[in-house]
Structure 1
Amino acid sequence: MVERREQTVPDPVMTRIGQSVMLHHAGDREEARGRFLDLWAEIGEDGDPLHRCTLAHYVADTQDDPADELAWDLRALSAADDLTDDRLAEHGDALAVRALYPSLHLNLAADYVKLGRSEAARTHLHRARGAADALGDDSYGDGVRAAIHRLELRLGEGDSGGETWDPPHRRP
């Protein structure tokens, strides 16, 4: 028997986040940041956890100051802690909430590296690695696992084999 998935109703906040992400990817970082911050002012610290997690995750990517990036990534992690699998499924995403944690902790580890806080970076890197079993066997999961490995190498926790570290790719 084939299970039918109900059609999800478009979420206007997620649509606006997506539009701003496209602006950012097109090179208009300042405009994207402005739109993200306007939207954050609308949803606030107590808004829908899915909106807060996604938005904070992308706002972090537009920050010039590593401390500001860290603050936004911490907001994303905090919102993920409030997010349920049911809410994520309402958005039509097949991911479980626990599949968000490897990327969220990886981003925090990268933030701490930028700030010269290697012990905090290692803590979040270990959390990312520990949560990586929740990742799917797909290009997203492969990309996050590869980014974890590159950061491990950069922090001297593996055999480099000549590899270099690239910042992790973001996906809420």
Structure 2
Amino acid sequence: MAHLGRALELGTAGDRTAARLALTELWDRVGDTGDALHRCTVAHHLADLQDSVADEVAWGRRALAAVADLSDERVRRHDASLRVRALLPSLHLNLADGYRRAGDAARARDHLAIATPLVAELPDDAYRTMIDDAITRVSALLDSGSREPLAAP
């Protein structure tokens, strides 16, 4: 997770290419069968750093697939307050937005329908508000037929 944090700092500093390379190296070390929390987290962040929507969706699907191998016990070893279900709103939101931008409205709507009620799994804080607001914005963009990237609030 420390390596992940350093890779994310590269992205925050504006060096998306270096961040993507660092996360790809982490993915190669973790592998398709490594620790599920690491796979989920690395893939989730790699999705955000892709240049193509197709690659973003592929990484988002990997992140969501890793959740199937994840237990509450495992995530609690990382953060005592975390539960697997609390990861799902963001994972489904990202896939909904990716599918929307790829022009697959049906899949986008499917993932929004899953993400929306799962927001209740999140603590009532700024993160929950951010996810809830993003769901609203993605839904509105989907309704308008827009395939433009989701702008920051």
Structures share fold, TM-score greater than 0.5: yes
**Contact kept in structure 2, 1:85 and 1:97, CA below 8 Å:** yes
2:56 aligned residue: 69
Aligned length: 149
Larger Rg: 1
Residue by residue, what CA displacement relative to the aligned partner does 1:127-150 show, whole Å, maximum 9, x if unpaired?
111212111100101110111111
Q: How does 1:23-62 map to 2 (within 5 A)?
A: 23-62=10-49
2:4 aligned residue: 17
Is 1:78 the equivalent of 2:55? no
Computed over aligned residues only, the root mean square deviation of the Cα atoms, in angstroms, reads 1.7
- Tell me, in whole angstroms, the C-alpha distance in 1 between the residues paired with 2:138 and 2:31: 32
- Tell me, in whole angstroms, the C-alpha distance in 2 between the residues paired with 1:166 and 1:30: 20
Q: Of the candidates 153, 156, 165, which is equivalent to residue 140 of structure 2?
A: 153
Structure 1 position 103, deviation (Å): 0.6
1:10 aligned residue: none
Q: How does 1:89-100 map to 2 (within 5 A)?
A: 89-100=76-87
Higher relative contact order (CA 8 A, sep 6+): 1
| Structure 2 spans left out of the alignment, 5+ residues | none
2:92 aligned residue: 105
Which range moved further: 93-102 or 121-130?
A: 93-102
Identity rate, percent: 45
TM (normalized to structure 2)? 0.92
Shift >2 Å, 4+ stretches = 165-169
**Contact kept in structure 2, 1:20 and 1:36, CA below 8 Å:** yes
Q: How does 1:121-140 map to 2 (within 5 A)?
A: 121-140=108-127
**Contact kept in structure 1, 2:97 and 2:150, CA below 8 Å:** no
1:166 aligned residue: 150
Report SS of the residue matched to 1:23.
Answer: helix
Give 1 or 2: higher helix fraction. Answer: 2
| Structure 1 spans left out of the alignment, 5+ residues | 1-13, 158-164
